[in-house]
Amino acid sequence: MALRWSKVSPRLALIPALTVTLVAFAGAIGWTIWMSFTRSRRFPDYAIDHTLWARQYERLFSDGVWVTSLKNVVVLAIGSALAIVLGFILAAMIEKEKRGEGFFRTIFLYPLAVSLIVTGIVWRWMFNPALGIQNFLHQLGWESANFNWLADPATAIYGIILASIWHGLGFYMALMLAGLKSINTEIWSAAKLDGVSFWRLYVEIIIPMLKFTFLTCAILLSLGVVKTYDIVLAMTNGGPGTSTWTPAYFAINAYSTRSNIGYASAAAVIMLLITVAVFLPLMAITAWQARRREAAAI
């Protein structure tokens, strides 16, 4: 009796998770993809006009704001990559120095516990032209200092990048630190004995050894950038004009402000495609690492 139940129970226990996966993920994604081919507006309309099935996508890519959003994602990804570079430098320094490791790690990581809305509001205050950093620099006598980035469509996105780096820096540092600690100690002593210079050690040995940590960081960063929404809302609310819109902002705006389900779905589908394109390398890495681990076990 007990044995029979032990065969049935695990399957019963998996039913909720399976239901969630099938309904809330697979089903919902399918529904959104379907909607993106229809002309649904406020309410879903399931009919697809087969001659004009790509109408939402055609509209989307001829929409200047959407093109701006896509450009912003690229700018954000490139700009935020600085967080990975800086995170590596900080991790390497903390690992080399060791003094104050716990202290510095605590400081660098705390922004991650703060929500992106709070981050955005805090940085908006720092960027305040009359009362923030700019005014402080002017009072110091640097009259030409311009820190009013958020007011100018050309620089607003860099303000968002700065705040994102502040928020994410510690995360990449923690990943890099974990990567550095997994490196065999003998390499450090061997390098010391051979008299390998500091720069060569890092550029030619350490960084190549950490290439998968770097790649993981880059992929996680890109996945995060595609979803950028909260911080834009809190810092600029898409403005000035539409200069800091992102695809996530666009999709939600199309749904909640313009009440256009078809259009919002098309934008969401493109977001999914970007995610998949970024995600495939991650899969490849995981498979590769699993194989390496198996090989090591044998």
Q: Name residues contacting another protein, limited to 82-111 (CB under 8 A).
A: 86, 90, 93-111
Q: Which is nearer to another protein, 157 or 271 (CB)?
A: 271
- Least spacing, CB of residue 79 vs another protein, in Å: 16
- Least spacing, CB of residue 128 vs another protein, in Å: 8
Q: Which is nearer to another protein, 51 or 245 (CB)?
A: 245
Region at 141 (left for phi over 0; alpha for psi -120 to 50; beta for the rest): left
Backbone torsions φ then ψ of 124, nearest 5 degrees: -60, -40
Is residue 288 a contact residue for another protein (CB under 8 A)? no
Per-residue contact string for residues 253-282; x = within reach of another protein by CB under 8 A: --xx----x--xx-xxx-xx--x---x--x
Is residue 31 a contact residue for another protein (CB under 8 A)? yes
- DSSP symbols for the chain: -HHHHHHHHHHHHHHHHHHHIIIIIIIHHHHHHHHHTS---SS------GGGTTHHHHHHHT-HHHHHHHHHHHHHHHHHHHHHHHHHHHHHHHHHH-TTHHHHHHHHHGGGGS-HHHHHHHHHHHT-TTTSHHHHHHHHT-TT----GGGSTTTHHHHHHHHHHHHHHHHHHHHHHHHHHTS-HHHHHHHHHHT--HHHIIIIIIHHHTHHHHHHHHHHHHHHHHT--HHHHHHTTT-STTTT--HHHHHHHHHHTS--HHHHHHHHHHHHHHHHHHHHHHHHHHHHHHHHHHHHH-
Q: Name residues contacting another protein, limited to 51-80 (CB under 8 A).
A: none
Is residue 112 a contact residue for another protein (CB under 8 A)? yes
- Least spacing, CB of residue 115 vs another protein, in Å: 3
Is residue 44 a contact residue for another protein (CB under 8 A)? yes
Q: Which is nearer to another protein, 31 or 71 (CB)?
A: 31
Per-residue contact string for residues 146-175; x = within reach of another protein by CB under 8 A: --------------------x--xxx--xx
Q: Which is nearer to another protein, 115 or 146 (CB)?
A: 115
62's tokens: 């001829």
Q: Which is nearer to another protein, 52 or 259 (CB)?
A: 259
Q: Name residues contacting another protein, limited to 232-251 (CB under 8 A).
A: 233-234, 237, 248, 251
Backbone torsions φ then ψ of 155, nearest 5 degrees: -115, -10
- Least spacing, CB of residue 229 vs another protein, in Å: 6
Is residue 145 a contact residue for another protein (CB under 8 A)? no
Which residue from 48, 52, 85, 178 is in contact with another protein, where contact means CB under 8 A?
A: 178
- Least spacing, CB of residue 84 vs another protein, in Å: 13
- Least spacing, CB of residue 122 vs another protein, in Å: 5
